[in-house]
Amino acid sequence: MGFVTAVNSSGAYTFSKPSRDCIQLLAGLGVAGDIHNGVTVKHRARVARNPTAPNLRQVHLIHAELHDELTDHGFTVHPGDMGENITTRGINLLALPTGTHLHLGPTAVIEVTGLRNPCTQLDTFQPGLMKAVLDRAEDGTLIRKAGVMAIVLEGGKIHPGDTITIELPPEPHHALQPV
């Protein structure tokens, strides 16, 4: 079991999202008041390609352990700085299979859809950050460490300190891919 360390949202296209006392998840939409809330894609580059594509990126989660790792490498990164809506601790988000359900707080349920594909805006925020959130496995496979994306199945209010429980999908499990 893990827990929520911070919740963040922004009603404008900003790289970082300010921390909040609470966010409201809306089923099928995302975070109430967040610019990325909606049934169809909201990320500018994706809207330009296909504005009617489903929004598989309604909620962005980053594990606080990544912030710790980045701090150890000389970066200063706080919850919301990399645009995440929910910062977690105690869950290896990157190892979850596609379709995992995360139960957040008393009522909310989200489904993990894939990995966040880090973009060059990270280097605008802090030079070298893009490279720091990418790695290579022993076989040369690219490892993306900038969090996971999810859709909201059941809404609810989320606060720092809320617990997170994991419900794995039926097997066979499939590794997360960028969405």
Please check the confidence at residue 18 and state whether its pLDDT lies above 90.
yes
Q: What share of the chain is helix, strand, coil (3-state, %, to 5)?
A: 15, 35, 50
Give the domain CATH number at 31. Answer: 2.40.33.20
Give percent of the chain with pLDDT exceeding 70: 100
Confidence of residue 119 (pLDDT cuts 50, 70, 90): confident
Distance CA 47, CA 51 (A): 4
Number of separate domains in the chain: 1
Please check the confidence at residue 122 and state whether its pLDDT lies above 90.
yes
- 3-state class of 123 per DSSP? helix
**Residue 117, in any domain of the structure:** yes
Distance CA 162, CA 104 (A): 7
Residue 131 or 46, more confident: 131
Measured in degrees and rounded to the nearest 5, phi and psi for residue 47 equal -60, -40
**Residue 15, in any domain of the structure:** yes
The length of the chain is 179
The whole-number average pLDDT for the span 26-45 is 94
DSSP assignment of 39-106 equals SB--SHHHHHH-TTSB-S-SEEEEEHHHHHHHHHTT----TTTTS-SEEEES--GGGSBTT-EEEETT
Contact indicator for 151, 159 with CB cutoff of 8 Å: no
**Residue 140, in any domain of the structure:** yes
The reported pLDDT for the residue numbered 169 is 98
pTM of the model: 0.96
Contact indicator for 15, 77 with CB cutoff of 8 Å: no
**Residue 118, in any domain of the structure:** yes
**Residue 176, in any domain of the structure:** no
The whole-number average pLDDT for the span 149-159 is 98
**Residue 173, in any domain of the structure:** no
**Residue 123, in any domain of the structure:** yes
For residue 40, which of 25, 50, 26, 27 has the smallest C-alpha distance? 50
Distance CA 72, CA 74 (A): 6
**CA Rg, the chain, in Å?**
15
**Residue 178, in any domain of the structure:** no
Which range of residues forms the domain containing residue 74?
A: 2-167
